[in-house]
Structure 1
Amino acid sequence: MTALPTHRLTSMRRDAGLSLIEVTIALSISAVGALALFATMGTASHADSGAKRRSVALHAAHTIIQDVAADADTMTFNDFLTQWNDPANQVYQIEGLENPNAPGGNALAVVAIDQADPNRIGVSVTISWLDHGRTEQFVLPYTITEIER
C-alpha cells in the first residue's frame, strides 16, 4: 500500500468546511446589503410622504381656484374685486399640511389678486407647508379673462 503525500491530505481537510474568517466575511457582506436595502426603503418612504403632501397642496389650490372661478362667473367685476381683495377671504387653512410659521398648526393658502391688466384678472394661490423640517411652497396661477363689468 502506498501512502498519499501529506500535502494532499492537508488540502482535503481544508476543503471540508468553511473557516471562521470566511463565515465572518460572508456575514459582513450580507449585513452591508441589508443596511443598503433598509436605507433605500427609508428614502423611498421619505419621498412618498413628500409626494403625498404635494398632492394635498395641489388639490387644495385647485379647490380654491374653482371657488374663485365660480365667483367670477356669478359676480360683477366690482363685487368680485371687493370679495377677493378682502383679507378675510384671502387666507384658507389647509388640513393635512403643517404651517412652517406655526409648527403644529394647519398650513395656509393665500389668494392674491392682480388687476394690472384691465382686460383680465390674475389670481394666484400660494401654499407653504413644512415637509421634514424644510419649508415647501406651491404656487398655482390662474387668469380670469371674462367677467361682467
Structure 2
Amino acid sequence: MKRKSLEKEACPIARSLGEIGEWWSLLIIRDAFLGKNRFGEFEKSLGLAKNILSTRLQSLVNHGILEISPASDGSAYQEYNLTEKGKRIFPVLVALRQWGEACLFDDSGAGQILVDKKFGKKVKPIEIRSQDGRLLKADDVRIEFISPKPKKNSRKK
C-alpha cells in the first residue's frame, strides 16, 4: 500500500511525520546519535532486513537528515552522518524517550537513563515554556493559522 505524501500539508506535525515518522527511521536516527554510522552497524543494532534498511537510509539522505560521506578511517566503506537538520531531531527523541520512561515502564524504570556527560547527572524532563517563562500544558496553548512563508531552498535535490 502506497503511503500518502504529507509534504504539502499545512500542519508541521504531518510534514515532520512524512519525513521521519516511520519507526525504523527514528531508530536509525537514534543510533546515529549514539555514534553508529555504517550500514553494518545499523543492521546489527536494529536487526533490520538489508533491503528495508537500505530504503530507510536512502529516504533519510533524500530528506537531508543524513548525509553520505567516505569512511573516516580511510577504508572503502561509506558512512551515514547526521546533518544539521538531522541533529535538530534530538529534542524530539528526548521527548519521546521521556514519555516512554514515564508511561511505559513500572517504577523500576527502563534500565537506562539519559545523562549529561559534563556533570554525570540525569537529564531533566523537557518542558514547554511561554515567552515569559511560565510552564505550559496542552490546555494552555492553541494553534493560530497564519499565512505560511516558504522556506528558502526547500526543494529537494
TM-score (norm: length of structure 2): 0.20
Greater share of strand residues, 1 or 2?
1
Q: Which has the higher helix share?
A: 1
State the structure with more CA Rg: 1
